[in-house]
Amino acid sequence: MSLPSLKKLRNDIYFCIRCGFCRFVCPVVSEKDMEETVGPRGRMILIRGLITGEIKPSGRVADKMYMCTGCAYCRLKCPPGLEVDNIVLAARRDLFSLGTPIPEGHLGVLSSLKSNGNPFGELESERNKWMKSLGELADTMSKTNLLYWVGCTTSYIAPNIASSMARILSKAGVSFKTLGASEKCCGYPYLLIGDEESFKENAKEVVKQISMENVDTVVANCPGCYRTFTELYPKYIGPLPFKTLHSSQLIDSLIRDGRIKFSKPMNLRVTYHDPCDLGRHAGIYDPPRNVILSIPGVNLVEMEKSKADARCCGAGGALRLAFPEVSTNIATTRIRLDVTPLDVEAIVTACPTCVRNLKDGVTIAEAIYDVKKVDVLDLVELVNNAIG
């Protein structure tokens, strides 16, 4: 049986000491009644069995590998420092290449990525529908060296984030353009599902398309897109001819340069949720907080589990696309245990996918646990509101 990705990591896999420290921080294990096989240690044991041949690839084994958010909290708590999340992704690649049955939700994602250029089954022509709310501003996007990469979730699920970002850049006097309806998915879901070849092919097409725009900087709201451009594309296809910023980094810089000024009085007590792809994976913790703290009248209260120790919202790793109930239960736990004790009015994050899942978590927590309802905002929505 060919398991090329896992066999390259054989030494790391065998180095797992099965201590179980990872088990107690895994968000999926907590929501699955501490079931061993859906936790990092259990997955490592299953993976070792795949390598030795004691366990055969099957849909049941695949489900255990795909029931993971990829949050990397296990990596942080692993005494030997094993990159368990990357080992799980390697298992997904090998299982996918063997034709092992994968979750039905992920099959739908792959089909939509190839036919629609997004993971949600939405029409390509609807991608730039969010621009309609911009009015004349949409007509001012022209020649510039800055490309705003909107992303699938922002375009289709959270269009207010896209329009807020456009208005912020406009008010700061920053010229920018987008790819409009021709933008396609960055391809991150391909890699999360295990379709490595489609990811590489998609990456080359995206980079070629952006290169034709003659820009030197790309800014993205989505931490998944940001991570794909800054870490994954270079790893799979080499250096890129442009640099990439997350929206929080650009806005932080614009505030420090005096190009963004706040005029609308705010009286708001908030907490900040660190997205896993932006925080643990990319190490970006300060820029979003700098932005929040620069807004007059906004009081930032940190959760006990924040920054590198932040609890995952539950949507990462393509988990929500295949196991939505597990995903939203994790979000509910984040609200109930970490947010509610702070008595805040809003949760601010810097990821459209986190916004979506945390909003569902708030709704569920309010209905089941009778907790206080809080708003969930992306950072750019908060900034746009404060600019007035």
pLDDT of 68-117, one tens digit each?
Answer: 999 999 999 999 999 999 999 999 999 999 999 999 999 999 999 999 99
pLDDT of 204-257, one tens digit each?
Answer: 999 999 999 999 999 999 999 999 999 999 999 999 999 999 999 999 999 999
The reported pLDDT for the residue numbered 36 is 92
The reported pLDDT for the residue numbered 388 is 82
Domain regions of the chain by residue span: 4-97, 106-254, 261-387
Question: Does 139 score more than 80 pLDDT?
Answer: no
The reported pLDDT for the residue numbered 137 is 66
The reported pLDDT for the residue numbered 141 is 63
CATH topology of domain 261-387: Rossmann fold (3.40.50)
Average pLDDT over residues 115-140: 86
The reported pLDDT for the residue numbered 274 is 99
Whether residue 27 contacts residue 68, with contact meaning beta carbons closer than 8 Å, is answered with no
What's the per-residue H, E or C state across the chain?
CCCHHHHHCHHHHHHCCCCCHHHHCCHHHHHCCCCHHHCHHHHHHHHHHHHHCCCCCCHHHHHHHHCCCCCCHHHHHCCCCCCHHHHHHHHHHHHHHCCCCCCHHHHHHHHHHHHHCCCCCCCHHHCCHHHHHHHHHHHHCCCCCEEEECCHHHHHHCHHHHHHHHHHHHHCCCCCECCHHHCCCCCHHHHHHCCHHHHHHHHHHHHHHHHCCCCCEEEECCHHHHHHHHHHHHHHHCCCCCEEEEHHHHHHHHHHCCCCCCCCCCCEEEEEECCCCCCCCCCCCHHHHHHHHCCCCEEECCCCCCHHHCCCCCCHHHHHHHCHHHHHHHHHHHHHHHHHHHCCCEEEECCHHHHHHHHHHHHHHHHHHCCCCCEEEEHHHHHHHHHC
The CATH architecture to which 4-97 belongs is Orthogonal Bundle (1.10)
Categorize the per-residue pLDDT at 4 as very low, low, confident or very high, splitting at 50, 70 and 90: very high
Cα angle for residues 231, 237, 243 (degrees, 5° grid): 50
> Which amino acid is residue 254, in one-letter code?
L
Q: What average pLDDT is seen over the chain?
A: 96
The CATH architecture to which 106-254 belongs is 3-Layer(aba) Sandwich (3.40)
Query: Which residues, other chains included, contact 238 with Cβ-Cβ below 8 Å and sequence gap of 6+?
Result: none
Average pLDDT over residues 274-298: 98
**Matching CATH topology for 106-254 and 261-387?**
yes
